[in-house]
Structure 1
Amino acid sequence: MKKITLLLVLWLAVGFTYAQTTSTKSIKLDEKSIVKDAEGSIYPFAIWKKLIETGEYNVKSISGAEDNEFLLYRLTEEEIAVRKKKRAELVSTMPRPRASDNFREGERFRFEKMKDIDGVKFDFKADTGKVVVFNFWFINCPPCKKEIPELNELVEKYKQNKDVVFIAIALDDTYALKDFLRAMPFKYNIVGDGRYYAQKYGVKSFPTHVIVGKDGLIRFSTVGLASNTIHWVDKTIKEAL
């Protein structure tokens, strides 16, 4: 995968790196930070990091403890709702994420017949009138994995709409994908052994998102993972419908 470029883009300040205390002072967390819950159980870095990234947890300094010890706690439902609202408002004001050079908006998408790892076949030359949402990815791509939970939420949001189809084209083989998906479910229709498609469309940066409208024209594309990537995917789906 020498030619593959991983595009890592910083997330919003609501991520794990900074957490706000009750004062105006910001605290910085790192791998050496000691993070405990109310019962005193210490959480590994990978676990508390993921919990804070959900936007549903925060940390605060433990009174009387060492400077590098923090208490992990879950926000109230009201606090979570407020945080999500603020994040959505901020994301909506951000510039459109970087477009892919390989998929030009307004051009006709060159559909190929595909089959996912469960044997479901797709032929959009025959089955027209769908909004098709593509995601090019691979298992060992950190930003690809990072966006999966939010992409799953998108699938749930549109699961009752038969006019929207989500297809994730992976470079990995079916065996590796099924093993990966047991630990991290991905609700897109997963197409394995996707190097042929990546090469056909000139995709070298991952993740790459492409949305094709009902008319077969490209409506949106982007490479890498930005704070507002999922916002624009969702926005474009709505407009395409």
Structure 2
Amino acid sequence: MRKLIFIILFISFYNISSSQTHYGKPELDPTGIQKNYLKWLEYQRKNIILSSDFVALDAEAKEINKETFLNELTNGEYIPIKLNSSSSSIYYQLFKILPGTDTSIKASLTALAIEELVNYKMVGKPFPEFSFIDLNGNTITNESIKGKIVVIKCWFIHCAPCIKEFPSVNKLVAQYKNRKDIIFISLAEDNPQELRAFLSKKPLSYLVVPNMKKYMNETLNLEGFPTHFILDKKGKISKVLLDYEGLELALKKESIQ
């Protein structure tokens, strides 16, 4: 009997211990990275994708939900740092912004968190009603895309980050070219003449819809560009993302569901 109790206690302790070893220490020093804005910006761009699926931890390493995590970041008192992990899950923890930290870090993080929080709250909602006509004269509506996964890129010609990711998003389109249930649409602010001239030099493999400035500003309420949407097969917003890295991961997950 004692032996059985010991085994049960050992297994319970092992399971608890195992569940606590999925993540370890921060992958870099949370204090040192705060001393230089450019180094922080480089780290943030490569390692902190707030639109991704991640396990959120507060400053005491207690698990919190994503909305609470983003809300904390909007207050300008914390930076997020990725933790080393023994699992496939991503772990981000909040660390206090220290006195004397470059104010640009605080300002840029606050702006990013506000935008990410707005985008996060859109997830699960139906994409607004639309009837788009692309540069080739094709009409695209909510009805015509039913039963398809839809990737939407919002951009404009003079948006340098939007153009910089063209090769990457074109590669993504090529990767899914045999998936008839996935469609790629881009909404552009610019008029047809400007777009045709521009795209003749810098091709984009998406369907391109012109004159979308009002729709993106007033209907979608976008604050930054590029912005990417992934819609599920029911026409609901599955993800809202600000960069290609997040888009690639999210589409991979959506496409196998």
TM-score by length of 2: 0.53
Pair 1:200–1:94, CA change in 2 (3 A): same
2:248 aligned residue: 231
Matched residue, 1:207: 226
Q: After superposition, what is the alpha-carbon deviation per residue over 1:83-123, rounded to whole angstroms, capped at 9, x for unaligned?
A: xxxxxxxxx9586x973615611112223011111111112
- Find out whether 1:183 has 2:197 as its counterpart: no
1:168 alignment partner, one of 174, 186, 197: 186
Change (3 A) 1:106 1:174: same
- Percent identical among aligned pairs is 30
- Equivalent pair of 2:172/2:248 in contact (CA under 8 Å): no
Contact 1:171 1:194 in 2 (8 A): yes
Structure 2 CA distance, aligned partners of 1:190 and 1:233? 22
Which of 123, 141, 159 is equivalent to 2:141? Answer: 123
The verdict on how the C-alpha distance between 1:144 and 1:126 changes in structure 2, with shifts beyond 3 A counting, is closer
SS in 1 for 2:183: strand
Give, in whole Å, the separation in 1 of the partners of 2:159 and 2:253: 24
Q: Structure 1 94/153 Cα, relative in aligned 2: closer, same or farther at 3 Å? A: farther
Higher helix share: 2
Residue segments in structure 1 that go unaligned for 5+ positions in a row: 1-8, 14-91
Aligned pairs for 1:9-24 within 5 A: 10=42, 12=46
Q: Which runs of 4+ in 1 moved over 4 A?
A: 9-13, 92-95
For residues 81-230 of structure 1, the aligned pairs below 5 Å read: 99=116, 101-102=118-119, 104-198=122-216, 199-223=218-242, 225=243, 228-230=245-247
The answer (yes or no) to whether the contact 1:170–1:191 under 8 Å persists in 2 is yes
2:155–2:225 contact (8 Å) kept in structure 1: yes
Normalised TM-score (structure 1): 0.56
1:172, 1:131 → 2: CA distance? Answer: 25
Distance 1:125 1:140, change over 3 A: same
In structure 1, the residue corresponding to 2:200 is in which secondary structure?
helix
Letter in 2 for 1:171: E
Residue identity in the other structure for 1:165 = I
2:186 alignment partner, SS class: strand
For the 8 Å contact 2:228–2:247, the answer to whether it is kept is no
Gaps of 5+ in 2: 1-40, 48-88, 93-111
Larger of the two Rg values belongs to structure: 2
Using the TM superposition, give the Cα deviation of residue 126 of structure 1 relative to its aligned residue in structure 2, in angstroms. Answer: 4.5
Preserved contact between residue 133 and residue 211 of structure 1 (Cα < 8 Å):
yes
Distance 1:107 1:234, change over 3 A: same
Counterpart residue type for residue 200 of structure 1: T
**CA distance in 2 between partners of 1:217 and 1:162 (Å):** 19
The one-character-per-residue Cα deviations of 1:169-193 (angstroms, maximum 9, x if unpaired) are 0001111111111111000000011
- Distance in 1 (alpha carbons) for counterparts of 2:126 and 2:230: 11
AA aligned opposite 1:213: D
Residues matched between the structures, number: 152
